[in-house]
Every structure is written in C-alpha cells, then in structure tokens.
Chains A and B, each alone.
Chain A
C-alpha cells in the first residue's frame, strides 16, 4: 500500500533521520532501505529524497562527505549530534501524537 503524499511529507524528515541514526548512507541506499523497512509503504519518488537530505544538511542535522563506495564516489550522509537530539524529540512527539490518535480512533471499540 502506498500512502497519501501528505502523510509522507510531514514525517519524511524523521524517517530519514531514523535510518541515518543506524549508520551513514548514500541517497540510493537510503531510499531502498526506507522502502524495505516500510514494506513498500513509503515508495516515494526517489528524486524527492535529495531536497530532504539537503535541507537536513543545511540545518546541520546531518553532515555529508564524498566517499568511495564500491569503486564510485558517493555523497554519504551521517547524522550529527544535533540530528540525534532532533530525532529523539520528534520520536517522542510522534509517539504522543499517534497514541492520542489511536485512543480517539479506538474509543468505544472493545
């Protein structure tokens, strides 16, 4: 199932940070991982990842470096300390939000 674009755009920053929290990735690798982890739910247009990554870099939440990966030079992104803090905060907000949504949706359902 592919989800509506609106859901994606709000949380894409958090999802990208969550994947980068594990290890540094280059763009192509990152989008494949995102797709796999979400069981193909997050099947975004691949090009749209780059504005997200560049924004994260501008905000100093990730840092990039050019590295040679399997014979080719890739722009590899790694999460920064500031990025880790932002991710923790977003995760917490997300948990509170989704819990509240679930409570409303399941009200009265036994």
Chain B
C-alpha cells in the first residue's frame, strides 16, 4: 500500500467530511517523518514508503476509531448551530445598528437656521397638558422636511422636554412619517418627516387629535 492509498482508506471512514483534510494532513506528516527516518537508515524510497505505511497499522481500524472522535452527528449538529447563530445574529446586528443610527440621528441637534427653505405654519395645538405652537416647515440642503415647533406646559413655565412625544407626523393612511429632535439652540423641537402622499401632513397628538396641514398651501410663501 502506498502512503496515498493509506490516507485515502482512512479518509473514507470519516463521515464528518469537514474534518477529513485535517486528519489527512496530520497522518501525512507522520508518514513523511517515518519515511525520512527510514531513508536515513538506508532504505530506498519505495521500501521506506511501504515500511512506513506498514507501521501505521490498519487504515480501516484507525479510520473507524477516528470517526468516533469526529462524530458526524455532533459535527453536523455543531455546524448547523453555527449557521443558525450567524443567521440569527445578522438581523440582530442590523436592527441594533439601525437603532443606534436612529438614536444618533434623533439626538443630533440640527440647525434649522441652515434650512434652504422656510415656510411659516403658525398653528397652535391645544393639548390637555401642553400648548404647542407650530412654527415652520423647513427644507434642509439635503431635501429633508422638518416641522419646527415650540411647546410649553400649561402648569409651569418650564419649557417642554423634547423627549416627550406630544404629537407625531403621519400620512393619510396613518403611516408614521418621521422622528423627533431638537434644534442646536435647544429653543425649539422639530419633527423630521417624509413627504406625505398628496402633500397632506397629519399630526396625531398624544391625546388623539388629528390635525391636518396642507403642505401645498403652506409651502407657497416663504417666510421673510
């Protein structure tokens, strides 16, 4: 039997095929060492190979024993669990990444003063706890839409925390359109929103009111 034949015979017994190459490499190194030693003792190349293979013993016996240690069921179960874990981890990482991105985006104060277009709205929302004054629709350099507002609680003179979701923008179908933030000066809050279908922006307040703003009307006259 040649060294190659020996290794092939061992390989065949390993059902967990992903371990075959590693096992073959290790045994091949061993055979090579054995052959080198025999060559140094004066054996010919062919004699050294035959003798080295003989010293390894039965390839079937070694293969069967090795197969027990490289259990196909455990091996494939392990492989499946790794694949499953990766499949689970990818959407998780994406969603965490998205959350972080949204978080950063929300807490990053924008500078409304840098808006390219500013249209006055001049509406007031009466909420049970707050009075909200809607100031302007702003369009940024990047073409994003913002509604700026100022809010005051009815029970104290402190400014409303921008973290409170007093109202949120939606379209006619009730789809949520945007997210909140506050200006770099901290003087007013804003709602970034995606352009609603038909240009009709709806604001759903905390207490359930639905306020309609027709952007086609508002965005005619720019504020001086």
Contacts and interface: CB of A to CB of B under 8 A. Distances in A.
A54 B70 CA distance: 8
A28 B29 contact: yes
B35 to A, nearest CB: 11
Interface stretch (A13-21, A45-53, A83-91, A94-102): A45-53
A37 interface: no
A72 B10 CA distance: 22
Interface size class of A (residues with CB under 8 A): 10 to 19
Query: Main SS of the interface on chain A?
Result: helix
Query: Main SS of the interface on chain B?
Result: helix
A48 B61 contact: yes
Contact of B69 (A46, A51, A72): A51
Given A45-B58, A47-B56, A75 B69 contact: no
A45 B59 CA distance: 10
A92 interface: no
A27 B68 contact: no
A47 B26 contact: no
Contacts of B65: 48, 51
Given A51-B66, A54-B70, A28 B30 contact: yes
Contacts of A82: none
Interface in B5-25: 10, 22-23, 25
A37 to B, nearest CB: 18
A72 B25 CA distance: 11
A42 to B, nearest CB: 14
Interface size class of B (residues with CB under 8 A): 20 to 34
Contact of A50 (B32, B34, B66): B66
Nearest to B55: A46
Given A28-B29, A28-B33, A46 B68 contact: no
Nearest to A29: B33
Contacts, number: 59
- Which of A26, A47, A50, A72 has the most C-beta atoms of chain B within 10 angstroms of its own C-beta? A47
A27 B26 contact: yes
B128 interface: no
Interface string A51-79: 10011011000000000000011110000
B68 A51 contact: yes
A19 B7 CA distance: 27
A27 to B, nearest CB: 5
Contacts of B30: 27-28, 46-47, 50
Interface in B32-84: 32-34, 55-59, 61-62, 65-66, 68-70
B27 interface: yes
Nearest 5 pairs of A and B residues by beta carbon: A45-B57, A51-B65, A47-B56, A47-B62, A54-B69
17 contacts: A26-B29, A28-B34, A45-B55, A45-B56, A45-B62, A46-B57, A47-B30, A47-B57, A48-B61, A48-B62, A50-B27, A54-B66, A54-B69, A54-B70, A55-B69, A73-B29, A75-B22
